[in-house]
Chain A
C-alpha cells in the first residue's frame, strides 16, 4: 500500500511536535539550572544556554540540611526497596510455585492492597506513629514505604518466578539440591532482571513520596528530598535558577535509572508475562 506524500509526512511532523512538547519541560529544567541568573530573568527567554554556570547547584547543595535530606531519602528508599524485595520474594515463590488453600484469597488481597489510597490515610498513620512516639523518625517512613511498594513487588515477582521453567528447579533437586538450594542456585540468578525492574519501580515510588513525610516528620533532621523541594521555593523565593538546580538534582537519579533500565525492565516485565 503506497501512501501519498502527505500521508508519509504528517506522522513524522506530529511526532516531532510531540517530541518537543514532551521533552521541553525536562530540557527547560536543566537549561535553567545551568544558566546565569541574568539569562533566566530576561525579557526574552534564552533558549540555549551559552554561559554555563554551576552557581545554582552550589546554592542548592549548600542550602541548610541538604545532605541530611539526601542521606535520609537514600536510607529510607533503599531500605524500603530491599525489605520489600526480601519479603516479596518469599511470598511470590509460594504464590507462583505452590498450591494451597487460600492462594486465590492472597492474590486478590494483594491486588486490592495495591490500590490502597495512601494519600488519604495519612491522618490515621499520623495518629499511629504519634501514639508509638515515633514522629520525626525514619523508621515508620521506611516501614510504610515498604508497604506501599510491597503488593506491586509481590505480584510482579510472582510473574517472574512463574516464568522460570519448573524443569530447571526439578532437575536441580534430582541432582541432590534441597528446595531451598534449588531456589538459591537456580531460580534466583534467573530472577535478576525481574528483581531489577521491580526494585526500580519501588525505588521511584519511595523516592517520590510526599504526603506521608509531610505529615509525620516536621523536623528537618528527619525530612526527605521531596519535602525539601516543595519548600525550596518558599525559602528561595523567585530564585528559579536554584529551584531548577534543586529539581535537577532530585530528578537525575530517577531519570538515569529509568532511562537505563526502562528497556530492560519493560522487556523483562513482558517476558515475565509472556514466557512460561
Chain B
C-alpha cells in the first residue's frame, strides 16, 4: 500500500507538467515545430524504440559510460591504495589533481579532438575526468575518515598494513564509496551527452543534435526524456546498493528514502 502511495506521489508532478504541456499545445500558442504535443512525442518514442533507432544510440552511450566509469573506479582504487600504503607519495599529486578537478571536462574537447580525433578515446577521457572526482573524494574521505579505534583493533590482532586496508578501512568506507559511485555515474552520464554533441557520429547526444538539424523537435524531446529516465534508473539502483551496504549501520539512511 505504502509503495503504491509513494509511486503516486512521485508521478503527481510529472503528470501535472504533462497536462500543462498538453494544454499549451491545444491552445496553439507555439507551432508544433517549437513544441510538439505529448502524444506526438510519445508515438515518436514508441516508434523509435520499435525500430531500434534509439536503442543503438543509447547502447553506444551506455557503453562509453561503462568503459569510462570503470576506468575511473580502477584509477580511484589504485590512487587510494597507494595513498593508504605510501602516504608520503600523496603530496606529489594531490594539488595537481585538485587543479584538474576544477577544469570542466567539456572544455578540453577541442584539444582532445586535435590530439585524438573524434574516435572513442576522447569521449572516454571526458567521462573519466567528469566522474573520477566524486568517486575519488568520497572514497578517500570514507577510507581515511576511518575510526582510529577500529584500525587499532586490526593492529592489536596482528594485521599487516594491507590487511588493515582490505579487512577494515575498505569495508568501513563502503557506504561512502557507493555515494561517490552514485554521484560519479550521474556526472559521467551528463558529460557523455555533452561530449557527443560536440564530437560524435553516434550516441544519444549525437542523436539529439542530429534530430535538431533535421528539425525533428519531437525526437529531440524524446531523446531528452530518455536521458532523464536512464539517469533516474541508474541512480535508483545505486541508491538501493547504498542502502544495502549501510543496512547494519544503525538507521543512517532513513531520510531520502523513496
State whether these chains interact. Answer: no
Residues of B within 8 A of A (CB): none
Question: Which A residues are closer than 8 A to B by beta carbons?
Answer: none
